[in-house]
Structure 1
Amino acid sequence: MKVLIVDDEKHVREGINLLGEWEQNGITEIYEASNGEEAIQLIRTLRPEIIFSDMKMPKMDGTQLLEWIKENQPTSKTIVVTGYDDYHYMRKAIHFGSSDYLLKPVDPEILNQTLAKVVKEWRNEEEERNSKTTSYQLINEMKPVYRDRKLTQLLNSDNLKEELYEEFGFSKAQKYLVALVRINRKAIEAFRGDRDLTYFTLLNVMNEILEEKECGIAFRYLANKGEIVIVFWNQFTQIEELLERIYKAILNVINVSCHIAVGIEVDKRNKLMNSYQHAKEVLLNSNILADEKSKVYRQDVIQPQVLKNLFAYSSEIELAIQAGEIRAFEDLISKIEKDYTEGHYLSWAQLLQLENEYLVISNRWFEHFHITAKISRHIEYRVDPFFDQNGTFQLQDYIGRTIREVSIFLRKIKRKTVQKSNNVIYEIEKYLEANFDRDVKLQEISNHFYISREYISRKFKQEFNVNISDYIVKIRINRAKALLKNSELKIYEIANMVGYQDDKYFRKVFKKVEGVTPNEFRELHIIQK
């Protein structure tokens, strides 16, 4: 920090210089001037934070200097030092914003108390100035983001300060109406994936048209991905005409169609959400198969949709997977297509639900067969590529993509089945080892490994020279022998532990396999020890 001492008496300047506790207050530079004119030259060059000034000086007195400082260097803090205990000078000092008023001869304690107070005031004010400067810079640099955030808040709750409405050019009106513009993935790809540049460009196009008519404002709706909201407060009879103009302007700029839906009129700002929700329902109800030149939708009364459920086809999907042939899926997909597009109608809402359920079902089957999936989970990435330049959904292309994905899935299953067949018998052996203590049926093994019972029986006998039921008995008896040797458990307890609920039957099986009863086996083992 810098200090300037202005006084026509040299000994006064020197005295203040000697008495001040400069270092303690962060002051590193001290300058002197003998009159107001000289002081102004130094202030212009040095811009000192603290200025001590006499009131009565030649050429330019303290009153004139304080007035100049107030107009030209208002951030500096001034302290008047004078030998005149005169109300006139005190009033002038206060008028021109002086922080304090000291009388000569200056008391060191009062001087330093005043200095500390004024330095603190300057620092607080400087921090506030910096904060405001940073805020204004951010607002100017990020005006679109700031505007979008504030207007998103407005749509969700009418709690903006009145001055913000004027700042955004938002006019008060008797009626309002919301239109919704869907920004699809193709629009963003037109700007090489730069989402921010996409919105910046399209909002400029829209707001230029709206400003021309002084009828509304468009902003990026941050609460939902891929949406621009337009709030109208005028020109209600020309809404559709204006939106057609906006639709064509976007199409001309990026060569991509963006669907637009119109909400209902509302009479208060805090009802804007009602208009937005209506527009959203209109968009979700729109027929994406309709090959119309314009994709601006308006529907005053919305008929509730009854959406079809892909999970209703779960059993047929399972049968097609078991068949393992793409032809089975082609027949099934053809059936689903006919069901979903009855009357050549497919709504946005139905497509989104269909795609979401398709991903859920696919994921279940990928997990079931332990197959790694490389399918994007972002629905917009998966459906947007199938809208043509005019915004019409290309159903056959979409079906073709689905068939390709299913074909890849079936090929992966076949590869896994071939790999499994080479070692599946040993996997079955491990399964029996893990489940020997319960009644494992051949059908259970078949279901678990997706192999026929006949194949399992034949291959198991070839590999281990024993059928599965006898192999389970072998495992059980071996476990029972270990328990008989190394524990004091009762025979019926051991029988239960190895899978026999009837200990008499266990004793019978044990003797048949080992030639001795469980008790005889235990006694023999004890004697050997």
Structure 2
Amino acid sequence: MYKVLIVEDEDIIRKGLVYKVDWLKYNCMVVERAVDGVDGLEKIRRLQPDIVMTDIRMPFKDGIQMLEESKPEYDYEAIIISGYSEFEYAKQAISLGVNEYLLKPIDFAELHEAIMQITAKIEEKRRLKSYEQSFHDLNVYHELLDIQHYLYRDNKTKYVMHMLEYIKNNFHKKISLQDVSDHYQVSTVYLNAKFKEETNYTFNDFLNRYRIIKAVELLRKGDMLIYEVADYVGFQDYKYFSQVFKKYTGTSPTQFLEK
């Protein structure tokens, strides 16, 4: 549902724009009305609408000023309505990225066409944004996968090789660097320093990243619920799992599944 804000100082026109348009037909809803540019600017900042329909000539602050002060920051789409004598304002509107410009008296057939064009543009922008986000997530995922390369590199000391194998074989358990330290009778400080030197990661960071790689693989298969995946990859606390997952992938497990 697209949020619409109507900014118009003439009461009769403002009401006409609200009640003479079947907004739901275009998946839109008028969330608020403003009586001038100052009022409109405040409501844009508070409501962050998807579409702003505004008159140009208004008291206190005109429509162009309102657009200049808000559009770059809130990135909404705008429809401008004005009289013939204000047509020069169209040039300024175009520079602000406004392509829908209607003259008074309003032709509602033209308005309906403008709304269709605007909603299609918004939908395309959202689709591209979703694609870009998915592409970003994919890059993050491949960045995580790069960690696995360390498991098969040969230029590692004996201890680091053992630590990587330990993570690979025991990531689903409750493990720590202290466990490795106890097993090899070598201090945790030395082990962590060697691990960081050869992998660029601390032991715990690598462990968590590897667990998230495995979690992503399981979520993609779709055979397990999120809390089951969390438990399987070594997180007993689901909330903590969600925090770590978001830290490394940029999205929550639920949002990952939705995408």
TM-score, with structure 2 as normaliser = 0.58
Equivalent residue, structure 2, for 1:193: 169
For residue 97 of structure 1, report the CA deviation from its aligned partner.
Answer: 1.1
2:121 paired with 1:121: yes
For residue 148 of structure 1, report the CA deviation from its aligned partner.
Answer: 6.4
Report the secondary structure of 1:190's partner residue: helix
Q: Take 2:100 and 2:118, find their aligned partners in 1: how far apart are those partners? A: 8
2:73 paired with 1:72: yes
For residue 16 of structure 1, report the CA deviation from its aligned partner.
Answer: 1.5
Q: Take 1:97 and 1:108, find their aligned partners in 2: how far apart are those partners? A: 22
Q: Deviations over 1:134-187 (max 9, x none)?
A: 4435545x46326569x9xxxxxxxxxxxxxxxxxxxxxxxxxxx853799744
1:47 counterpart letter in structure 2: Q
Equivalent residue, structure 2, for 1:107: 107
Q: 1:59-208 maps to which residues of 2 (within 5 A)?
A: 59-74=60-75, 76-137=76-137, 139-140=139-140, 142=141, 144-145=143-144, 180-181=154-155, 186-191=162-167, 193-194=169-170, 204-206=196-198, 208=200
Equivalent residue, structure 1, for 2:58: 57
- Structure 1 stretches of 5 or more lacking a match? 152-178, 210-529
- Structure 2 stretches of 5 or more lacking a match? 177-191, 202-259
Overall identity of the aligned pairs, in %: 24
Q: Take 1:9 and 1:105, find their aligned partners in 2: how far apart are those partners? A: 12
Q: Take 1:203 and 1:50, find their aligned partners in 2: how far apart are those partners? A: 53
Q: Deviations over 1:251-279 (max 9, x none)?
A: xxxxxxxxxxxxxxxxxxxxxxxxxxxxx
Q: Take 1:146 and 1:121, find their aligned partners in 2: how far apart are those partners? A: 36
Report the secondary structure of 2:88's partner residue: helix
Q: Against the structure 1 CA distance between its residues 187 and 4, is the aligned structure 2 distance closer, same or farther, given a 3 Å change threshold?
A: same
2:155 counterpart letter in structure 1: V
Report the secondary structure of 2:124's partner residue: helix
Report the secondary structure of 2:40's partner residue: helix
Report the secondary structure of 1:48's partner residue: coil
Q: Take 2:195 and 2:164, find their aligned partners in 1: how far apart are those partners? A: 13
For residue 23 of structure 1, report the CA deviation from its aligned partner.
Answer: 1.1
Q: Against the structure 1 CA distance between its residues 193 and 116, is the aligned structure 2 distance closer, same or farther, given a 3 Å change threshold?
A: same
Q: Take 1:24 and 1:92, find their aligned partners in 2: how far apart are those partners? A: 31
**What is the RMSD computed on CA atoms of the aligned residues?**
3.5
2:32 paired with 1:40: no
Report the secondary structure of 2:84's partner residue: coil
Q: Against the structure 1 CA distance between its residues 64 and 204, is the aligned structure 2 distance closer, same or farther, given a 3 Å change threshold?
A: farther
Q: Take 1:61 and 1:187, find their aligned partners in 2: how far apart are those partners? A: 67
Q: Take 1:190 and 1:54, find their aligned partners in 2: how far apart are those partners? A: 68
Q: Deviations over 1:450-508 (max 9, x none)?
A: xxxxxxxxxxxxxxxxxxxxxxxxxxxxxxxxxxxxxxxxxxxxxxxxxxxxxxxxxxx
For residue 78 of structure 1, report the CA deviation from its aligned partner.
Answer: 0.5
Q: Against the structure 1 CA distance between its residues 109 and 183, is the aligned structure 2 distance closer, same or farther, given a 3 Å change threshold?
A: farther
Q: Take 1:183 and 1:108, find their aligned partners in 2: how far apart are those partners? A: 75
TM-score, with structure 1 as normaliser = 0.30
Q: Is the 8 A contact 1:188 1:194 kept in 2?
A: no
Q: Is the 8 A contact 2:6 2:30 kept in 1?
A: no
The alignment of Structure 1 onto Structure 2 pairs a total of residues equal to: 179
Report the secondary structure of 1:63's partner residue: helix
For residue 86 of structure 1, report the CA deviation from its aligned partner.
Answer: 3.9
Q: Which has the larger radius of gyration?
A: 1
Q: Take 1:96 and 1:204, find their aligned partners in 2: how far apart are those partners? A: 50
Q: Deviations over 1:389-426 (max 9, x none)?
A: xxxxxxxxxxxxxxxxxxxxxxxxxxxxxxxxxxxxxx
